[in-house]
Each structure stands twice: as structure tokens, then as C-alpha cells.
A = this chain, B = another copy of it.
Amino acid sequence: VGELDLIRQIRGRLGGPGRGTVVGLGDDAAVFEPPKGLELFTCDAFVEGVHFRRDFSSLQEIGAKCMVANVSDVAAMGGFPTRATVALCIPEAASDREVDELYDGMIEVAARYSFEIVGGDVVSSREGLVISIALLGAAEAGRIVTRSGAVVGDAVLATGSFGASEAGLASLLKGLPRSAAVDAARERHTSPRARLKEAQAIIEVATPHAMIDVSDGLSTDVWHVAEESGVGIRLERDAVPIAPAAQEIGHQIGRDPLELALASGEEFELVAAIPPSELSRTVDHVEAVAGTEVTRIGEVVEAERGCTLVMGDGTEMPLERRGYEHLSGDER
């Protein structure tokens, strides 16, 4: 397939320019009206054999997941996605249909979160697929939430539950037989969602001091917030919501479900630090608006205390930065 033909094919699939877009895919650059408030900009690259495997996920799932990871970043800053560009590096042997399938997934995510794919590049790779996505977003000035504003005394909350993505990957790597838990975990691993509605709901009723999406693993991302904010964080061991599928698969494969929950990357759950007085209305509002459970998992403490895991009996141990190199099985 020639590169120009591919660009034409993609352009045909995307349809005409959306609202506010003056020039869409196919020219030297896309042109559009900028947002009114503040603008957000993020990028991520995904490498076959490092971030995804084609025997574990369909191309549609791979395209969708790459896009979701970027949407999750914008959501965690308090923004909503507006426009994306996609640079595909594809092996020479790739077919039209494979590119179509990747775009199927990306277009589906763009529709789900109401943004537009406005630009693309398609080049040859030497080995395997590489997908690079850059995503723009918008937010009202007062709604931006960074990783770096957590203050001592804040409650630390989390959306949803943890561990299923890693459990799904482990079940794929080990070839576990299908079961309700395995199916749920694999679905979570191959087709994650971004917590866009939940992030907006949190900001509507609370003034989060810091927020992050869990892409590297809960323990690692808690450390990120702590370090960027110059604080410590106490995570309560018994409060961490562990996904039922992670519980079951953890027992099946001999891994502690809590350890799975702390290490599991690409969860795309939100972790936020908010004033404790705002906790109960935040829990209620996110549940009402998005149907998603929000749990208080800990609190922000002085930097000197570092990040710790607090046991049921009150003893504390250092919170290890867990997080697995995807697909290799080796700990970082």
C-alpha cells in the first residue's frame, strides 16, 4: 500500500471536518478554532511487543486502547479531549484492512469521548507497529488539576477498583482457561475506559488539589503525586479497592491480590487528593453522575513520612514502587 493511498483511505473513513475545524486531515497541518479557556496537549507512543501484542488484542482494541490512554491523561488534568493526530509506523507487509481496523478502534474512541482525529502520518516501520498519538484538550481555567498540589491533610480517593488489568495480562501470558473472572480481567486489559465523566464530576463538587490517572500502577502513581507535590501519602491497605477478577486470578496464579492491585498499570482509574470535607459529596456525585464507585484510600501527610502502606493494626511499611514492564513479566 502506498503511503498516499493510505492517507486518502483514512481521510475517507474520518468524514469531513467537524465543528470549528477549518482544514482536516490531508493538508500539511490541520487548522481549527482554538478553545476558549485553557488548552491541554499530551502524547504517547505504543510499541508492538512492548505495549501490546497482536495475539492478545485485535487491532481495533489496540487502536482504541492507545487513544484511551491519551484521553485518560487529559481527563486527569480536568480537561476534555478536542482533537488528535495519529502517526502510524507500519510494517511494509501491512494491509489496508489492518490500518482500517486500527482506525476503527481510534474512531470509536473519538466518537465515545466527542473529539476529532484531524491529522495523521503513515510511515514504514522496520519491525512491528508503532502508534504515536498526540491529543489536544480544553478546560476552563479554574478546572485544571495537576499532580503537584496535594497538601497535608487531604483525603486521597480513587475511582473504581484495581488489579484487573494486570490480572488480565497475566492470564493472557499464562494462557489461563476462560472463566468469568478471566474474561472480565482480559476485557479490562484489552479494552479499558478513560474516567472522563468521573474526573469532571469530581471537579464539579470538589476542589481537588492533585489528580493523576493510574497508568504506571497505583503505587508508582501515588509516589508521582507525592513527589511532585512535596508530600507523603499513607495508603490504607484494607481500603484499596481490589477488582473481584484480580482477587480470583491472584489466588489462581499465586499472586497476592493486593500486590496485583498496587502494581497493575493501564488501569486508567483516577487518584485525587481533596479536602476531607468534600469527600462524601464527591463520592455521592460521582456515583450519581457516572455510576462509578469512589473510595477513600488514604491521606496526605508530611513529606518526611514518605509513602507508606498502613496495615489493619496501624503499623506502616514503605510503599514499594511496583509496576511491571508490560509484556515482559519482569519487575521494574
Contact = CB atoms under 8 A, between A and B. Distances in A.
A38 interface: yes
A33 interface: yes
A24 to B, nearest CB: 10
A204 interface: no
A32 B42 contact: no
Interface string A132-154: 10111111000010111000000
Contacts of A301: none
Interface residues of A, number: 66
Interface in A156-197: none
A83 B127 CA distance: 30
A128 interface: yes
Nearest to A221: B28
Contact of A87 (B29, B34, B127, B132): B132
Given A2-B332, A123-B50, A89 B43 contact: no
Interface of A: 2, 22-23, 26-36, 38-51, 72-74, 76-77, 79, 83, 85-89, 118-121, 123-128, 130, 132, 134-139, 144, 146-148, 212-213, 228, 332
Given A23-B144, A27-B147, A132-B132, 8 more contacts: A2-B332, A23-B77, A31-B146, A34-B36, A41-B119, A45-B121, A48-B126, A89-B130
